[in-house]
């Protein structure tokens, strides 16, 4: 997430309609309250901001054609290398794939969940549902996206380190579920 920070007491100022359960209103409240000028973040924050203060916010663009939206699950390498860790992580991946497959056939339930957990309208949920893809794979698209990002960061002198996917990713769980979900990683890029 990229945003302009302000002192915490201003950042946490509540805005009518924002999710007060978290205790941290975050970017929507800060934008609506005038504490920040802009932010970049994955959904549903953008849709939620438009719902609570649409007169003060608008989309500049989504990332279509630039990069897929990625959610990252992390675990310690030594835990993943253990029989128990590998089993738990693989079961979690299998359950996530099953949940995705069920959700893709039942938008009404997805919208109800988004309303209950995120206070997101069906319209906002539909908008991001139609924009986002839901792959669970380590494939050419994944590698190309992150190599492109890495090359850009290196060119901008933000890092000198190349991404080594053998150190970054753990393909074993996906391979155990379906070997077609993993492509061989490229050399460090």
**Domain coordinates of the chain in residue numbers?**
2-53, 77-181
User: Which pair of structure tokens corresponds to residue 5?
Assistant: 């920070």
Could you tell me the two tokens for 30? 């800060």
Angle at 67 between CA 2 and CA 97, to 5 degrees: 105
Higher pLDDT, 126 or 58: 126
Tens of pLDDT along 61-90? 666 666 666 666 778 888 899 999 999 999
Q: Is the peptide bond before 88 cis (omega within 30 degrees of 0)?
A: no
CA 103 – CA 110 distance, rounded (Å)? 6
> Between these two residues, 121 and 12, which has the higher pLDDT value?
121
Q: Which residues of 41-79 are buried (b: 16+ CB within 10 A; e: fewer)?
A: eebbbbbbbbbbbeeebeeeeeeeeeeeeeeeeeeeeee
Mean pLDDT of the residues in the chain: 78
Q: Please tell me the predicted confidence (pLDDT) of residue 43.
A: 59
Closest-CA residue to 119 (of 70, 59, 47): 47
Rg (CA), the chain: 19
Query: What pLDDT, on a 0 to 100 scale, did the predictor assign at position 18?
Result: 44
Kindly report, residue by residue over 135-156, the tens digit of the pLDDT.
889 999 889 988 998 999 999 9
> What confidence category does residue 176 fall into, taking pLDDT thresholds of 50, 70 and 90?
very high
Integer CA distances (angstroms), 105 to 98, 109, 129, in order? 11, 9, 12
CA dihedral 175, 176, 177, 182 (to 10 degrees): 0
pLDDT in tens, 39-49: 555 556 667 67
Q: Which residue has the higher pLDDT, 101 or 2?
A: 101
């Amino acid at each position: 997430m990229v945003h302009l920070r302000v002192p915490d007491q201003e950042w946490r100022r509540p805005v009518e309609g924002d999710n007060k359960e978290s205790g941290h209103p975050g970017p929507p409240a800060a934008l609506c309250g005038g504490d920040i000028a802009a932010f970049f973040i994955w959904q549903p924050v953008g849709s939620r901001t438009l719902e609570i203060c649409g007169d003060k916010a608008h989309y500049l663009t989504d990332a279509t054609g630039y990069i897929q939206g990625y959610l990252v699950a992390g675990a310690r390498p030594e835990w993943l290398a253990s029989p128990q860790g590998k089993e738990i992580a693989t079961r979690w991946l299998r359950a996530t794939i099953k949940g995705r497959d069920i959700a893709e056939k039942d938008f009404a339930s997805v919208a109800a969940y988004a309303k209950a957990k995120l206070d997101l309208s069906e319209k906002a949920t539909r908008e991001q549902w139609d924009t986002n893809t839901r792959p669970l794979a380590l494939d050419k698209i994944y590698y190309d996206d992150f190599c492109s990002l890495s090359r850009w960061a290196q060119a901008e002198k933000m890092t000198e380190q190349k991404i080594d996917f053998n150190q970054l990713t753990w393909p074993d769980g996906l391979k155990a579920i379906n070997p077609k979900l993993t492509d061989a990683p490229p050399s460090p890029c």
